[in-house]
Structure 1
């Protein structure tokens, strides 16, 4: 089994997870951050184009799964029931055998259980899924953790640090953050957490949008720790907006020649313009994702060391350190008083 230190920590950021998906060779997906699960935000997440259209109503953007980051607690109770029948073998569920691999493992739990026309897993993940189909969860976990391709993509997002801490110095009562996945499979909602004994069945999909059925589960989980923990993060894995907008523009272009001049053709041009603007915004967003990921991967250590040397040469480093200590001291006193 690979050593725990072979896998880096991954930041819970939609740009990082979107680039992870691309790094694995998967096409047709992107990741969006969710700040809440209220109806208005969920509607906005699934809305791709304008409400008034020349053709049939614009299709809703599929949401294939959620990734939830939270501080792991030993005593936390499971919301559903552990699946022990044949369903567990018919889905990809891997036991987590490497601590820092939980981000990639949660992402792969969604990717490898998604069967949708929008999604192309690519050669590497398609072969991995086929080769591990008959493995039990423990063997799937070992296979995942020792697959060099997956590990190298994961570790490409490692952050450079100035100081390396000894794991032995870690406080015994410090509980780590953990990623889990939620997704619908065959009309039921499951939580896939590699630290559990198996997939967790959360019940049937009742509403048109499975996220509405999942909402009380997420809310209950957050509320259980509101007194001691407020750091949560929720991300949605959706189909590519660019893909949907581009397909819509092709459909509109195909009917443009059949329309006579008039209100309907004016509406078509207006819809095309809105789609074009949306497409430009998506392109800008993807460019920002790439830029943010480049900053994640860049090694700033030489620059920081050079700046510290220059400050020391000018005699400014020690006063800045002392000033920082004083600010921290004042802040601690203010918090204590509060």
Structure 2
């Protein structure tokens, strides 16, 4: 078995997660930030394959309910216990991907799922930690910063907040909470495949209620179908309907209006993908050599000391204004 190696911290961001999923060979899905779980918002995102919830971890605040026992019908669930520091986001993503048969996992992740099917939860966690594919894609988002050991939490050992990711998704007619720090999957009760997010909302609200009113550090993302694929299918459907109509049919005006609206949404989605790609590229780039060269050049031209003096003076004036 390969060495588990080190796992870097990655930013909680839909663009990061979408590129991470694509890097593992999965097709046709993306991550979306969720600001509300109301019916209207969820309708716009359908199909939603699963939710990933970020919260501040506290000792004793584990599962929403007691994990169901293996003999309670969990054999059909991919559940892995977390054995890797810094990888709870990737593990929460895998909890959704590997439990949704309607997602195209690609050959490598499909083989991984088949290979680990009969493993115990702790062995599945070890298998994730030793997967070259999953680890290399995860670590591709390591910060390129020579002043920080990217493979370790810089706050390790300090009295700092620790954040954790868990997944919610429907599996065989029941809503499950999958938390790698728990002993097993938590069955939250029967659910309707079309309205399971309503029940997930209740579970998330219950978890948030455990914290004080001042705690605002929560985040929610949805794994959805690729929006570009959805929009393209809608355009194809409109085009097919228009082909069956005569040129002077009054319905054409409405179809054209619908088509323009979908094309607008598609353009916005493409612009968002371009922005995500640029942000991910910047995340991975090491700017230290450029900064060093800039400072070196300013020093050679005798321009650095005046800039430092000016910055110090501005800082003093700001501090004086606050007093």
TM-score, normalising length: structure 1: 0.84
Whether the 8 Å contact between 1:308 and 1:317 is mirrored in structure 2 is: no
Find the aligned partners of 2:274 and 2:154 in 1 and give their Cα distance: 40
Aligned to 1:271: 258
From the superposition, tell whether residues 104 and 207 of structure 1 become closer, same or farther in structure 2 (CA, over 3 Å): closer
Tell me, in whole angstroms, the C-alpha distance in 2 between the residues paired with 1:168 and 1:242.
38
SS in 2 for 1:27: coil
Distance 1:62 1:168, change over 3 A: closer
Q: CA deviation at 1:328?
A: 9.6
Q: Does 1:151 align with 2:138?
A: no
Contact 1:67 1:180 in 2 (8 A): yes
1:149-194 Cα shifts (integer Å, max 9, x gaps): 1111001111122423687974454341111111111111111111
Helix, strand or coil at the partner of 1:41: helix
Structure 2 CA distance, aligned partners of 1:168 and 1:112?
Answer: 31
The 3 A distance-change label for structure 1 pair 143 and 327 is: farther
Q: Which residue matches 1:300?
A: 287
2:269 pairs, out of 278, 282, 291, with 282
In structure 2, runs of 5+ residues without a counterpart are none
Q: 2:76 aligns with which of 74, 81, 90?
A: 90
**Helix, strand or coil for the counterpart of 2:290?**
helix
For the structure 1 residues 5 and 274, does the alpha-carbon distance in structure 2 shift closer, same or farther, using more than 3 Å as the test?
A: same
> Residues 90-169 of structure 1 correspond to what in structure 2 (within 5 A)?
90-116=76-102, 119-164=103-148
Question: Equivalences for 1:67-86 in 2 at 5 Å?
Answer: 67-86=52-71
Helix, strand or coil for the counterpart of 2:86? helix
Taking a change above 3 Å as real, the CA distance of residues 3 and 71 of structure 1, as seen in their structure-2 partners, is farther
Deviation string, structure 1 residues 70-120 (Cα, Å, up to 9, x no partner): 11101215322202134333111111111111111111111111122xx21
Q: Is the Cα–Cα contact under 8 Å of residues 83 and 199 in structure 1 kept in the other structure?
A: yes
Give the whole-Å Cα distance in 2 for the aligned partners of 1:327 and 1:160.
Answer: 34
- Deviation of 1:307 after TM superposition, in Å, equals 3.6
Does the Cα contact within 8 Å between 1:28 and 1:240 map onto a contact in 2?
A: yes
**Per the alignment, do residues 254 and 168 of structure 1 end up closer, same or farther by CA in structure 2, a change over 3 Å counting?**
closer
Distance 1:150 1:208, change over 3 A: closer
Relative to structure 1, is the Cα distance of residues 301 and 270 closer, same or farther in structure 2, using a 3 angstrom cutoff?
A: same
Give distance in 2, aligned partners of 1:167 and 1:15: 22
Question: Is the aligned partner of 1:27 residue 2:27?
Answer: yes
3-state SS, counterpart of residue 254 of structure 2? helix
Query: For 1:325 and 1:89, how far apart are their aligned partners in 2?
Result: 61
Residues 127 and 75 of structure 1: CA distance in aligned 2, closer, same or farther (over 3 Å): same
CA RMSD of aligned residues (A): 2.8
TM-score (normalizing by structure 2): 0.87
Name the SS for the 1:81 alignment partner.
coil
* Greater Cα shift, 168-177 or 202-211: 168-177
Instruction: Identify if the C-alpha distance between structure 1 residues 66 and 311 changes in structure 2 by more than 3 Å, giving closer, same or farther.
Output: farther
**TM superposition shift of 1:293:** 1.1
The DSSP-based 3-state class of the residue aligned with 1:191 is strand
Alignment gaps of 5+ in structure 1: 47-60
Separation in 2, partners of 1:321, 1:171: 34
Decide whether aligned partners of structure 1 residues 163 and 249 sit closer, same or farther in structure 2, where only a CA change above 3 A counts: same
Number of residue pairs matched?
316
Distance 1:156 1:5 in 2: 14
Alpha-carbon offset, residue 302 of structure 1: 1.3
The residue that corresponds to 1:226 in the other structure is: 212
